[in-house]
Amino acid sequence: MLRDITLGQYYNADSVIHKLDPRTKIVGTFVFIISLFIFRSFLATAVAAIFLISMIKLSKVPFSYMVRGMKSIVFILLITVIFNMFLTPGIPVFKIWNFSITDEGLKIAIFTAIRLVFLIIGSSLMTLTTTPNNLTDGLESLMSPLKIFRVPVHEVAMMMSIALRFIPILMEETDKIMKAQEARGADFESGNILERAKALIPILVPLFVSAFRRANDLAMAMEARCYRGGEGRTKMKPLSYNRRDHVAYGVFALYIVLIIAAGILGGRYLPI
């Protein structure tokens, strides 16, 4: 089940999108997401769709790979659609027992679903084409103005990158501990909720102990290699914008212009 989540995973390919500076991609994704929520006309949605599809094409990430990532949100999507369909007041077009589906509800449901799908695909496009490290570097750089307000930007980025490194290790460890306790007759599958929660103790305690031990070891290893926070630190892979990124920002600007135009021309198609 965990394997199905493509959100947050990196797909290795050699494409223009992959080569973009992470900051460009983060900014681009934000622009895209905001545009989805401001402009609600049919025309604007079409512009967003064209933009998204061309980005996917450029990224060389197989479309099927992205769809696989959608599986995990199908449930949320379904709920949203159903709620919107039934709970929006308006002209009823279809009636089941006491609930009626309204014309407006139908429209809202469809567009909300589309927006949600776009949102997920758009942001997973960013994570699929950017290595976790690049992503943290990008975030660190974009958030660095916050340092003025004493936000520990470097530390947060370092924590994120360490977390990413240790997720697979701790997952493996969890599996090992579970098996070891099962070998001692532990049962995680039967019993009521309370019993099951209690059955987790023999997993969680060793897992926490191990995580602390690892954290301690890692801190020592980092200090031994002269780590002393972000100050005076140089970068092995400094971020730098090049021509590609300038073009990308141009494309974003064009997209903004187009979608504003589409938003005005298309009018407020939907209520709310």
Partner 1 sequence: MGIIEAKDLVYEYIKRDEEGNVEGVVRALSGVNLAIKKGEFIAVLGGNGSGKSTFAKHINAILYPGEGTVYVDGKDTRKPENLWDIRQEAGMIFQNPDNQIIGNVVEEDVGFGPENMGIPTKEIWERVIESLKAVGMYEYRKHSPNRLSGGQKQRVAIAGVMAMHPKCIIMDEPTAMLDPMGRKEVIRQARALNDVERITIILITHYMEEVIYADRVFVMDKGQIAMQGTPAEIFSDVERLRELRLDVPQPAMLAHELNKTGFNLPYGILTREDFIHELVKYTGGRFYGGALENVEEKKSAFRHTTPGVIKRDPRESLILDHVSYVYEKGTSEEIRALDDISVQIGKGEFIGLIGHTGSGKSTFVQHLNGLVAPSEGHVYYKGEDISEKKYDRKKLRSKVGLVFQYPEHQLFEETVFKDVCFGPKNIGKTQKEAELAAFEALRAVRLPEEYYYSSPFELSGGQKRRVAIAGVLAMKPEILVLDEPTAGLDPKGRDEILDLVKDLHDKQNITIVLVSHSMEDVANYVDRILVMDKGSIIMDGDPKHIYMRSDELESMGLSAPQVTYLMRSLRERGFDLDPGITTIDDAVKEIRRLVPSGGKTGV
**Which chain residues interact with partner 1 by CB under 8 A?**
131-133, 161-162, 164-165, 168-169, 176-177, 179-187, 201-202, 205-206, 209-210, 213-214, 217-218, 220-228, 232-238
Residues 6+ apart with CB under 8 A from 10: 127, 128, 129, 130, 131, 132
Nearer of residues 150 and 235 to partner 1, judged by Cβ: 235
Nearer of residues 2 and 238 to partner 1, judged by Cβ: 238
Amino acid at site 2: L
**Minimal distance in Å, beta carbon 67 to partner 1?**
17
Phi, psi of 101 (to 5 degrees): -95, 130
**Minimal distance in Å, beta carbon 64 to partner 1?**
13
**Minimal distance in Å, beta carbon 71 to partner 1?**
16
For 102: left if phi > 0, alpha if psi spans -120 to 50, otherwise beta; the answer is beta
CA distance 254 to 156: 33
Nearer of residues 95 and 189 to partner 1, judged by Cβ: 189
Nearer of residues 104 and 137 to partner 1, judged by Cβ: 137
CA atoms within 13 A on the CB side of 110: 11
Nearer of residues 80 and 173 to partner 1, judged by Cβ: 173
Report DSSP state, residue 8. Answer: T
**Minimal distance in Å, beta carbon 182 to partner 1?**
6
**Minimal distance in Å, beta carbon 175 to partner 1?**
11
CA distance 29 to 129: 12
